[in-house]
């Protein structure tokens, strides 16, 4: 089972001018096995939503709730959220100099499962995951994200997704900066994950392009810190044609 329920979530960040409200009551439920796309203009709060669910300390929850299979996510530490089955692929993955991809993946897997993976199957799993993402086997010896191209960063995120096997994956602009070949490889990785039993995906994107490869069950238009409209995949086509303009406040 994997149901992520976000109810009336309000989040602020502290700025030099005092607290600034970014999320203004976000409500959506990703039912077991569903993929939801969140589409919205820059600055609408999409990354804030992702970080808030993942537990980034910079974001203060000022109202609402988030539950995963009924468990209070907001009461959990960042580690507990990961162990509970939440995964976040960040819009801007961080460099971890001196830590190899192989060590990083093994450490993360061990932390999430509570025990080290069996070495023989693990090496096979890692090589298989990298291979499916068109990353060669020397990739696992490189420092995490250091000198990675945009496409390598995103493919590495999807390798993590395949290997860590969360219940719900939040993918923040996993499509940004990808050429068409890399976009296909990344999308295929996400689709392989979706084929697993009962997995949820929250796909955050600015552009409709990735939705040609990953068909969401539900599309949410996200504007000014909340969901402005929800619908089926056809809503993405409307956005493609009309942009976000009709959702923005009318200038006076």
Torsion on CA atoms 23, 24, 25, 30, rounded to nearest 10: -30
Helix (H, G, I), strand (E, B) or coil at 97: strand
> Is the CB of 13 or the CB of 123 nearer to ligand ADP?
13
138 binds ligand ADP (CB under 6 A): no
Rounded alpha-carbon distances, angstroms, from residue 184 to 66, 223, 236: 31, 28, 18
Subset of residues 36 to 95 that bind ligand ADP, contact rule: CB under 6 A:
40, 42-48, 58
235, exposed or middle or buried, with CB in 10 Å at 0-12, 13-18, 19+? buried
Least separation in angstroms between CB 186 and ligand ADP: 19
Stretch that binds ligand ADP, among 15-23, 81-89, 127-135, 191-199 (CB under 6 A): 15-23
49 contacts 9 by C-beta, under 8 angstroms? yes
> Is the CB of 139 or the CB of 222 nearer to ligand ADP?
222
> Is the CB of 10 or the CB of 171 nearer to Mg ion?
171
Least separation in angstroms between CB 47 and Mg ion: 3
Structure tokens at 175: 């499509």
3-state SS of 110-135 is HHHHCCCCCHHHHHHHHHHHHHHCCC
Structure tokens at 90: 């960040």
Least separation in angstroms between CB 170 and Mg ion: 12
What's the distance, CA 159 to chain centroid?
13
3-state helix, strand, coil in the chain (%, to 5): 40, 30, 30
> Is the CB of 44 or the CB of 140 nearer to ligand ADP?
44
> Is the CB of 105 or the CB of 221 nearer to ligand ADP?
221
Strands 4-15 and 86-89: unpaired
Least separation in angstroms between CB 65 and ligand ADP: 19
Least separation in angstroms between CB 101 and ligand ADP: 26
Q: Give the residues lining the site for Mg ion (CB under 5 A).
A: 42, 46-47, 91
16 binds ligand ADP (CB under 6 A): no
> Is the CB of 46 or the CB of 109 nearer to ligand ADP?
46
One of 13, 76, 123, 228 touching ligand ADP (CB under 6 A) = 13
Least separation in angstroms between CB 53 and ligand ADP: 12
Residue with token string 């009551």 = 25
Enumerate binding residues for ligand ADP (CB under 6 A). Answer: 13, 15, 20, 22, 40, 42-48, 58
């Amino acid at each position: 089972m994997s149901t992520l329920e976000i109810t009336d979530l309000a989040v602020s960040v502290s700025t030099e001018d005092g607290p600034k409200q970014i999320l203004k009551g976000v409500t959506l439920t990703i039912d077991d096995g569903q993929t939801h796309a969140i589409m919205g203009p820059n600055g609408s709060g999409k990354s804030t939503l992702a970080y808030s669910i993942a537990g980034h300390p910079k974001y203060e929850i000022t109202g609402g709730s988030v539950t995963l299979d009924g468990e209070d996510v907001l009461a959990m530490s960042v580690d507990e959220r990961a162990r509970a089955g939440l995964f976040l692929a960040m819009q801007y993955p961080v460099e971890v100099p001196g830590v190899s991809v192989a060590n990083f993946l093994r450490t993360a897997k061990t932390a999430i499962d509570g025990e080290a993976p069996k070495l023989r199957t693990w090496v096979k799993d890692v090589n298989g995951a990298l291979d499916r993402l068109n990353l060669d086997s020397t990739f696992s010896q490189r420092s995490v994200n250091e000198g990675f191209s945009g496409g390598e960063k995103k493919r590495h995120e999807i390798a993590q997704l395949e290997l860590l096997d969360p219940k719900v994956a939040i993918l923040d602009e996993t499509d940004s900066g990808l050429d068409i070949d890399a976009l296909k490889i990344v999308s295929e990785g996400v689709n392989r994950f979706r084929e697993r039993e009962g997995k949820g995906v929250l796909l955050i994107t600015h552009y409709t392009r990735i939705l040609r490869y990953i068909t969401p069950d539900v599309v949410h238009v996200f504007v000014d810190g909340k969901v402005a409209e929800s619908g089926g995949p056809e809503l993405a086509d409307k956005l493609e044609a009309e942009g976000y303009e009709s959702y923005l406040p009318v200038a006076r």
